[in-house]
Each structure stands twice: as structure tokens, then as C-alpha cells.
Amino acid sequence: MKTYDVIVIGAGIAGCCSAFFLKQQGLSVLVVDRSGVAATGGSSAAGAFVSPKIGKGSPLQTLTNEAYEFAKDFYLEYFPKHFSQTGIVRMPKDEEDAQKFQTYETFNQASRRWIKREELEKLGIKDDFKSFLFNEAGVCDAPKMCESILKNIPYEQFNVDKLEHTKGVWKLFSTDATLFKQAKNILLATGYENTLFDMRYMGVKGTWGSRGDYETDLKLDVSMHKSISVSANIKGIIKLGATHNKAKDPCMACDGEPLKKLFATASTMVNTHDFRLKETFCGMRAGSKDYFPLLGLVIDVPYMLKNYPKLPRGLRLTQPPKKIPNLYICNGLGGRGFVFAPIMGKILADLILYGDEVIASVNPDRLFLKWCRKLPINV
């Protein structure tokens, strides 16, 4: 039985990028997933836009735009075949939003320029407001990108039912307990779903995203985002997508037509008269309460609640919470998974290899005490 340095559970873009940087550093890595590479969850339904965040310079915007620059260079260097640098037009939603765009100018350093109505019309875009054109932004082919990232990394379809840590080694058991894998370190990149450990303090929440791939002859050389995303025409396909549905039962909410509203909105942005639906994708995208990614070691929640019973009463810790040995997480990338994943994968690899400190804004520890204080006092 081979003992890997790291087993990554989850073959979405977060797990794939983490595995890439771990393998690049010379570690033996195995990626497992119960379904397939980018087959379920957020990565399966992703429009996979790679663009900056606009705003007034918030910490989240700063981190997002650092991640954007890193991701853009990463995809261009290693996987340019699956990254189309179409440029992305970011359009105001309405008159009030258009006024805000004026104030965003000094807070956005990414390569861009203003684009007016006349030029938008020439590009095939219907909009009255002056917009930003991020000329270096683009769109990934989500499944092909993930598959290419894992091209030289061992991958197995394996449904992890249970984890055990014994004598410094993690064992992964499938539903059939006679089958298992083992590694020194485990990375959880499972997205919205988790049944392996108590990680309630991270507050991972899911939002359903939908995407439709349409065959069309429409000449559209640039991608765009307003309230939804519309990709450029790449090999005869235009992608429409959004991450808006927070209903517990999205199929009921969509009434069997998940793309109805998307298509109606897209029709106000571009000419959709010859759009022919080729395929529909839906998946749950995982995000955190504060919209920052979650990356770092997992806290041993049962131990902390047992040994520090006053945590729900507001006890202040004098040292970091106790962690589960060699159990890491990379999660909560939200609707910008293909923006955040490369830089988070690099940070994760540096953490496992060198013990580099994780910035506080993405370290899951930031959420633990707040979660404890919301627990019933008698817990």
C-alpha cells in the first residue's frame, strides 16, 4: 500500500490547482473524487470567467484582484489552450450603478479602459452605459482546464466514506471498508458537501449556479458581465451563466427551466435569435460567510468544546485552537473559483511544505470564536 505525501479529496478547480502546486514541489500526490474531474459541484457548472473585481478598494477586492493577476498568468503559462483571453466587458446594472462606476476608477489597477455605447454596439453588445473593458481577462473551458491540470497527477474515482489517523498516517476508507488509500496529509477540497469532520464553524454555504451552452453563428469576440455572464463565441458556443439561486430545492424554484431567466436577460444584452441550447449545467458553489476563501488546517472542534467549555460564554483563547494533525482545507471560493484557485493552491502548498503562515483573511480560524459564541451556553 503506497503512502502518498498528500491525498486531495475533490477534483474541482480548488483540488486540481492545489494538487498541481504540491506535485510541482516534488511531493507524491493522489487526487480522488466520488464522481469525476469537475463532474459535480461548482466547477461542473462554472462559466469559469477570469476577471478582476471592481469596487472601492475593499480587502476582498484587493485579494480578488491579486488572485486574478496570479490566475491569468498561471493559465497563460501552463494551460493557454484552455484559457481564451477574450477580454471581458463589465457593465453597470442600471443608472445608479453607472454612477458608482465613476467612483471605482481610482481603485482598480487591472489593465482596462472605458468603452462607450457606440463601441459596444460595434461589438454586438446592447447597452446604454459606459462600461469597463478588461482586455486581459478571459474565460476557461472548465472541465478541460481541470483535466489538463491533472494530466500528470494520479487520479482515482473513489468515494471517501471515512477517515482515520493512526501513527502519523491518514487512511481513507470507501463504503466498502476493505478498500482504502493512505497518506501523510489530507486536503479537503470537497466544496459545499462535507460529512467527514465537524467544520460547522467555517459556515460554508451553497448557492446554485446554472449555465447553458448555446450553439450560434453570432459573431461575438468579447465576453461580458452584467447581472449574468455571457461569454464570447468560442468555437461556435456562447455560454450564459449566473450564481443566483439560493433555494434549497433549485429544481422546484426553476420549475424545470433553469435557464429561462438567464436567456431572457441575455436577450437584452446580445442578439439571441439563433441561439440553440446544446447543454445545461447546474451545480452548488461553496462560499464562506464573509466571502473570503477558506484555507488552512482544520480545528479539532470536539476537543476544543470539551476542554474549553466556556467558549460559548466568550472565553478568549491565549493560543491558537488545537488542529487536527495534517488535515487541511481549501474551500469557499464562491463564484470566482477559477480566479482564486491557483493562488490558493500555491499558498496551500507552501503551508504544507514549509509551514508558511496563512494570511488571516483566508485562515478558517478567523471564524471559530464567533461561531462558538453563538452556541447554546450549555454546549
pLDDT in tens, 18-57: 999 999 999 999 999 998 888 777 888 888 999 999 999 9
**Structural domain spans, the chain:** 3-42+145-204+289-372
pLDDT tens readout for residues 223-276: 999 989 999 999 999 999 987 665 556 555 566 677 888 999 999 999 999 999
Question: Which three three-digit cell numbers place residue 109?
Answer: 489597477
The pLDDT of residue 4 is above 90 = yes
If one counts every other C-beta atom within 10 angstroms of the C-beta of residue 196, the result is 17
Query: d(Cα 227, Cα 210) in Å, to the nearest integer?
Result: 13
**Residues of the chain above pLDDT 70, percent:** 96
Query: What is the reported pTM?
Result: 0.94
CA-CA-CA-CA torsion sign (370, 61, 44, 212): positive
pLDDT number for residue 255: 63
Alpha helices (runs of H) in 116-169, residue ranges in sequence order: 117-123, 142-149
User: DSSP letter at 292?
Assistant: -
Q: pLDDT tens across 153-203, in order?
A: 999 999 999 999 999 999 999 987 677 999 999 999 999 888 899 999 999
Q: What is the third-level CATH fold of 3-42+145-204+289-372?
A: FAD/NAD(P)-binding domain (3.50.50)
By the 8 A CB rule, do 140 and 82 touch?
A: yes
Structural contact between residues 147 and 38, judged by C-beta atoms closer than 8 angstroms: yes
**Residue 60 pLDDT level (bands cut at 50, 70, 90):** very high
**pLDDT of the residue at 171:** 95
pLDDT digits (tens, 9 = 90+) for 64-109: 999 999 999 999 999 999 999 999 999 999 999 999 999 998 888 8
CB-based contacts of 299: which residues, under 8 Å, 6+ apart? 201, 321, 322, 323, 324, 364, 365, 368
With a cut of 60, say whether residue 135 has pLDDT above it: yes
